[in-house]
Amino acid sequence: MSNYAESRLLSLVVPFYNESEGLEAFFARVVPILEAIPRLPFEIVCVNDGSTDDTLARLVEVSRRDARVRVIDLTRNFGKEAALTAGIDEAMGDAVVPIDADLQDPPELIPTLVGHWRQGAEVVLAQRASRTTDSFLKRVTAAAYYRVHNKLSDLKIPENVGDFRLMDRAVVNALKQLPERHRFMKGLFAWVGFSTVIVRYERAPRSAGKSKFSGWRLWNLALEGITSFSSLPLRSWTYLGTFIAMLAFCYGMFIFGRTMILGVDVPGYASVLSLLLFFGGLQLVGLGVVGEYIGRIYDEAKGRPIYLVKRRYQERRPQVRATGNARVISLVAGKRS
């Protein structure tokens, strides 16, 4: 094994939001697994996404005990996509693995991901073999979402693949070039491409706590994904409008011809009112679709940062320095910022 291969660093990126209950169990399970991977130093980048419990205090305590743990404290709750972006921006590894703190994604799979990476894969996706741990409604809506998204968008998102994956440094650098502030990370991961390997696994129930994604937040995330990578919802209203206009023209010609030839009167205020209400509602839906895209343009035009860091907690930070043709990783004492 070359010196360069031995000098590589693995970064585990973990967003935390009110995960105090399962925090100790997470580190007790993850750290031995990472330590068992041969010839691969690691760091764990923990992003506290505005937790309101004692998650931050517990994370800081873990970082004091283990210099390989770094804590990034955001100024408020920016959402998981922003927290994940912050962790990826902060990660210094040659390979980066995002993972949730609830242990539903098995950390025991990380050595397998690393093995594929060492064999040349630039992206190693962890794909759920089934969704038995989800409720029936969530399974149905998730399957429907993937079908709808992949039909509407030219960008195909692999089904049942979450944020749990391994990315090479080249992939991470490509992600960091994407400037949009509305972040749909699954879509961004798929958009950058690179050579990809898929590893299937069974997802476990949460180790502690409860999911922070309500049905409403999942619905908004689904809209985010569709509007981020497809303009078909906008284009469809052109087709729908043309189709309705043609129907209206044909119906108008029919009424005109029948009246001129047969002399049939055209009463029916109730039917006219129903049609007016129907098409009025249709127009409002169309305006809502247009408003989704205009709102995205408005937010992007403001140019606000995706997230703000309040403080970084770290005892020592891993550094990679050049030594001839090889790179050497060392732990350098550093202050908390």
**Residue 134 buriedness (CB in 10 A; 0-12 / 13-18 / 19+):** middle
318 and 264 within one domain: no
Predicted confidence band of residue 11 (pLDDT cuts 50, 70, 90): very high
Helix (H, G, I), strand (E, B) or coil at 312: strand
In the chain, how many domains are there? Answer: 2
284 and 140 within one domain: no
Predicted confidence band of residue 329 (pLDDT cuts 50, 70, 90): very low
275 and 139 within one domain: no
Checking if the pLDDT of 54 tops 80, the result is yes
Residues 208-247: tens digit of each pLDDT: 545 554 555 555 555 665 666 566 666 676 667 777 777 7
215 and 120 within one domain: yes
Point out the least confidently predicted range of 138-147, 161-170, 174-183.
Answer: 138-147
pLDDT number for residue 79: 84
**Dihedral pair phi/psi, residue 162, rounded to 5°:** -95, -145
Neighbour count for residue 286 (Cβ, 10 Å)? 17
CB 32 within 8 A of CB 66: no
Per this entry, what is the length of the chain? 337
Residues 295-322: tens digit of each pLDDT: 777 777 777 888 898 888 876 554 544 3
What is the side-by-side strand order in the sheet with 309-313? Answer: 196-201, 123-128, 161-168, 95-98, 10-16, 42-48, 69-74, 309-313
Q: Which domain holds residue 119?
A: 3-229+306-333
Predicted confidence band of residue 20 (pLDDT cuts 50, 70, 90): confident
CA-to-CA dists, residue 266 to 97, 183, 258, angstroms: 69, 54, 10
192 and 291 within one domain: no
- DSSP letter string, 255-277: HHHHHHHH------HHHHHHHHH
pLDDT number for residue 328: 40
155 and 142 within one domain: yes
What would the mean pLDDT of 197-214 be, rounded to a whole number?
64
pLDDT number for residue 45: 92
CA-to-CA dists, residue 183 to 82, 89, 98, 225, 226, angstroms: 7, 14, 15, 9, 12
pLDDT number for residue 96: 92
pLDDT number for residue 280: 73
User: Is pLDDT larger for residue 121 or for residue 283?
Assistant: 121
Checking if the pLDDT of 260 tops 90, the result is no
Helix (H, G, I), strand (E, B) or coil at 300: helix
pLDDT number for residue 193: 80
The token pair at 268 is 């029916």
111 and 221 within one domain: yes
149 and 38 within one domain: yes
What mean pLDDT, rounded, does the chain reach?
75
CB 197 within 8 A of CB 168: no
205 and 269 within one domain: no
pLDDT number for residue 331: 40
pLDDT number for residue 231: 63
Predicted confidence band of residue 46 (pLDDT cuts 50, 70, 90): very high
**Residue 139 buriedness (CB in 10 A; 0-12 / 13-18 / 19+):** middle
185 and 141 within one domain: yes
Point out the least confidently predicted range of 15-24, 76-85, 189-198, 327-336.
Answer: 327-336
pLDDT number for residue 4: 43
pLDDT number for residue 332: 39
Nearest Cα residue to 81 out of 264, 224, 241? 224
Residues 107-161: tens digit of each pLDDT: 999 999 998 998 888 989 888 876 565 555 566 666 666 666 566 666 676 777 7
Checking if the pLDDT of 13 tops 90, the result is yes
**Dihedral pair phi/psi, residue 44, rounded to 5°:** -115, 115
Strand-pairing partners, residue 167, are 96, 123
State how far the Cα of 145 lies from the Cα of 141, in Å rounded to an integer.
6
pLDDT number for residue 66: 87
Going by their DSSP bridges, the two strands 42-48 and 69-74 should be labelled as parallel
78 and 13 within one domain: yes
Nearest Cα residue to 102 out of 25, 187, 158, 200? 25
Query: Which domain CATH number covers 92?
Result: 3.90.550.10
Checking if the pLDDT of 323 tops 50, the result is no
User: Is pLDDT larger for residue 316 or for residue 251?
Assistant: 251
Point out the least confidently predicted range of 8-12, 58-62, 145-149, 204-208.
Answer: 204-208
Checking if the pLDDT of 326 tops 50, the result is no
Q: Considering the entire predicted model, what is its pTM?
A: 0.67
Residue with tokens 């190693």: 124
Checking if the pLDDT of 95 tops 50, the result is yes
pLDDT number for residue 47: 92
314 and 280 within one domain: no
Nearest Cα residue to 130 out of 159, 99, 97? 159
